[in-house]
Amino acid sequence: MSDIEEEEEPVQKLRSKRIFINNVDLFTGKNLGQYLSQCIVGSSLEDNEEEEEGETGSVHSAASHKEGAYRVIGTLKDPNAKPPEFVTEIVNFKTREELLEKLLECDIIIYNITEDADSIDESVWSVSSLHTEIEHFDSPKMFILLSTVLTWAKSKPLDPDDPEIPFTEDDYRRRKPHPNFKEHISAEKMVIKFGKTNKQKFQTYVIASGLTYGLGENIFHFLFKTAWLGEASALQCFGTGTNIVPTIHIKDLASVIQNVCDSKPKTRYLVAVDDSQNSLEEIVRVVSSKGGGGKVEHISKEDALLIKDLKQNEFDSLLVNLRMEAMFVKESMSVRWVAETGMVDAIDSIIKEYKQTRGLLPMRACILGPPASGKSTVADLLCKKYKLHHITVKDVIDDTLAKLEQSAARLEQTGSATGEEEDEDDGKAQEDAELLEQIKESKESNGGRIEDQYVIKFFREKLKSMPCQNQGFVLDGFPKTYEHAKDLFALEDEEEDESSKVNYDAAIMPEIVVALDAPDDFLKDRIMNLPEEVVQGTHNTEEGFLRRLQEHRSINHEDETVLNYFDELEIHPEHIDVSENADPKYEATIEKIAGMLGEPRNYGPTPEEKEEMERAAAEARLRKEADERAIRERNEAEEAAIMKQRQEEWLERLEEVRRQEREVLELQSIPLRNYLMKHVMPTLTQGLIQCCQVRPDDPVDYLAEFLFEQNPQVD
């Protein structure tokens, strides 16, 4: 391995360094940049004693010593993405020559080729271009290629008789890539090659990273999401699950890169994996038990390929089978390990990281109120809006009894079962059978009712279940009394913490409590107006309703009500008077509660649900447009009818005015007509007759002369 080793160089601490990272908007680039931007240059070279004093103290102190921290610049995979806050400068380039100018301004260049295949060609071009500019470097530069252990996927065992011997950096020449990762290994070789020319000015490193996990997940996201959603009966494990998956926490990988940046090691090819040798089945099983229902089922690799949410890169990575050991990292680096022993051992903190990073925090609400106030309707609408679990007394009791009966029934089959089938579930089955017997005896002695202690136990188990802990829940009408609430939310013995002032189980305590209020007369009228077919067979008969209403009022008029319990814990109930708005859809109530809960804290709608929502929105839009068009046409028709009526009225009035004008003119013309008939027409008639007899050359002039001569004198 002499060709990729060099003598250790004296470390020269810089006040600050510019470090380039490609695709800072993707999982790896974002987390590497976030980590390194908080690291003081050279801090990984501090003595172990100093590290132990503050545990990553240098990282935490970076905020107050920004002048000595790495300054991150980088590119975005999505040009429209919002740049992370830790990035000093985003490089937007139209030509690679513009990119090269920015790279030459940096001290360290990190190219991650594990997530984006387009980055492979760009990384090779970058290292090659930098190599040609060595003579023009103002200061030494470092190029780090972050690759993947998939370039080792088809490597032959070091010892065929002992396949459990792990690969190390010393075996890098023997590595054989996965068929889909041949370009990655070519890039690795090119990077190593360009680092051999002038090692004083240009150093190159290749880091073969294990499958990264933590901080929201990347490769393992499919498993975590499937477990969190809880929609599948079991978490799927591809193939036999016996393949060993090399892994590393993303923060540990960032710490390894920090060490390389600070110490400039002589080893040019490094393997970055944790100490775990976990199989895929072990990983799937622990993710299922800590993040889902706890069940695992094996499916064939062919069936796994048909899963549309599983990417090819994820499929190839999860099926890798490699035993690897990061000897140089363990022996020569000061890595501040977050999960040195692997994912399985650190699963609790990793699940917590996953939920917090992706904002997958449960929503917990409690809806209380008198019977017929609409608790169940409101709870159901909230559950549909936020994708929560609707918790009712009847469902909890029925589901728990069904599970107890199913578990107890296994005891009847133990006589014919083999020894292998008699596992730890048999002990649980025996406990369930005994509990079921106690409940039956309790019901017989209490008139068919189950004692409160059992109901409380059922509710605690339900609220502690993984679906409720993942997505959240809405309690519908329970707890009913102060004692119910006190027993339900009390800390269990092993959970009590003397140093904590919290005296309730925060994991199941509702965030908001809503009390639906209404006067008795309003509630009675609501029940009385229900259709007969709806009331039959339910407890909403007049007698049953009045009994339940009286019982509710009797337990909620004293000082120690269930609402007082929440008030004492400063979880103040929100009172909503449902009688003010008799909307059967409770839109105003849901809107008010939604304002208290805030935005949903889940993955949001699935693609199918989005398509359905878009279709429903399109239909609603078309209906709205059709309604608006019908209203517009109706208004236009009404306006046209009014206009026609007004026009007809105007024409009638106009005709009347004309008639009146004619009458006036007729009346005014009578004197003139009489005058003409008496004084003008006789003379004119005589002149016309005479003109006809004489037949002059100019009849008009002749007639005029005649009228002038015969003009009668009128006083």
Distance CA 367, CA 380 (A): 10
Whether 287 shows a pLDDT value over 60: the answer reads yes
For 472, counting Cβ atoms within 10 Å of its Cβ (0-12 exposed, 13-18 middle, 19+ buried), the class is buried
Structure-model confidence comparison of residues 672 and 2, the more confident one: 672
Q: Return the amino acid letter for 265.
A: P
Amino acid at residue number 389:
H
User: What is the structure's pLDDT at 56?
Assistant: 41
pLDDT, residue 429, reads 81
Q: 686: how many CB neighbours lie within 10 A of its CB?
A: 13
- Overall average pLDDT of the 42-58 stretch: 53
pLDDT at 579 over 50: yes
Q: What phi and psi, each to the nearest 5 degrees, are found at residue 106?
A: -100, 155
* pLDDT for residue 503: 82
Distances in whole angstroms, Cα of residue 284 to Cα of each of 310, 351, 352, 579, 607: 15, 13, 17, 51, 25
pLDDT of residue 421: 40
Give residue-wise pLDDT tens across range 110-152: 999 999 989 999 999 999 999 999 998 989 999 999 999 999 9
Q: Which of 192, 212, 219 lies closest to 254 in space, CA to CA? A: 212
Q: What pLDDT is stored for residue 539 in this prediction?
A: 65
Of 54-63, 150-159, 688-697, the range with the lowest mean pLDDT is 54-63
Q: Does residue 540 surpass a pLDDT of 70?
A: no
Give the pLDDT confidence of 414-426 residue by residue, as tens digits.
Answer: 544 444 445 556 6
Residues in the chain, overall count: 715
Looking at residues 480-504, what average pLDDT do you find?
A: 74
Between CA 121 and CA 132, with CA 127 as vertex, the angle to 5 degrees is 125
DSSP 414-451: TTTS-GGG--THHHHHHHHHHHHHHHHHHHHHTTTPPP
Let me know: does 236 contact 304? Beta carbons within 8 Å. yes
d(Cα 468, Cα 234) in Å, to the nearest integer? 17
Cα gap 704→439, rounded to integer Å: 137
Q: Give the model's confidence band at 412: pLDDT under 50 very low, under 70 low, under 90 confident, else very high.
A: low
pLDDT above 70: percentage of residues in the chain: 89
Quick one: pLDDT at residue 54?
Answer: 41
Q: pLDDT tens-digit profile of 599-639?
A: 998 887 767 777 887 888 899 899 999 999 999 999 999 99
Average pLDDT, integer, range 566-587: 86
For the residues 485-514, what does the mean pLDDT come to?
A: 78
The domains found in the chain, sorted by start residue, are 17-357 (3.40.50.720), 363-415+427-597 (3.40.50.300), 607-709 (no CATH)
Q: Look up residue 331 and give its amino acid.
A: E
- Whether 10 has a pLDDT exceeding 50, the answer reads no
Q: Tell me the average pLDDT of the chain.
A: 86
The pTM of the full predicted model, rounded to 2 decimals, is 0.79
Q: Residue 703 in contact with residue 691, Cβ under 8 Å? A: yes
Stretch 516-532: mean pLDDT: 84
Other CB atoms within a 10 A radius of the CB of residue 116 amount to 16
Over residues 357-392, the pLDDT tens digits come to 999 999 999 999 999 888 999 999 999 999 999 999
Residue 714 has a pLDDT of 52
In this structure, how many other beta carbons lie within 10 angstroms of the beta carbon of residue 301? 11
Q: What average pLDDT does this structure show over 192-213?
A: 93
pLDDT grade, residue 501 (50/70/90)? low
Query: Above 60 in pLDDT, residue 65?
Result: no
Contact 1, 54 (CB under 8 A): no
- Give the per-residue pLDDT at 638: 93
Assess contact for 382 and 474: CB atoms under 8 A.
yes
Residue 13 — pLDDT band, cuts 50, 70, 90?
very low
pLDDT tens-digit map of 665-697: 888 888 888 888 888 888 888 888 988 988 888
3-state secondary structure (DSSP) of residue 612: helix
pLDDT in tens, 244-274: 999 999 999 999 999 999 999 999 999 999 9
- Compute the distance between CA of residue 472 and CA of residue 387 in angstroms, rounded to an integer: 8
Residue partners of 63: CB distance under 8 A and separation at least 6: 38
Is the backbone of residue 470 left (phi > 0), alpha (psi -120 to 50) or beta?
alpha
| Alpha carbon separation from 348 to 266, 289, 344, 353, 453 (Å, rounded) | 37, 11, 9, 9, 31
C-alpha distances out from residue 267 to 260, 326, 486, Å: 10, 12, 62
DSSP 8-state symbol, 201:
T
Burial of 95 (0-12, 13-18, 19+ CB in 10 A): exposed
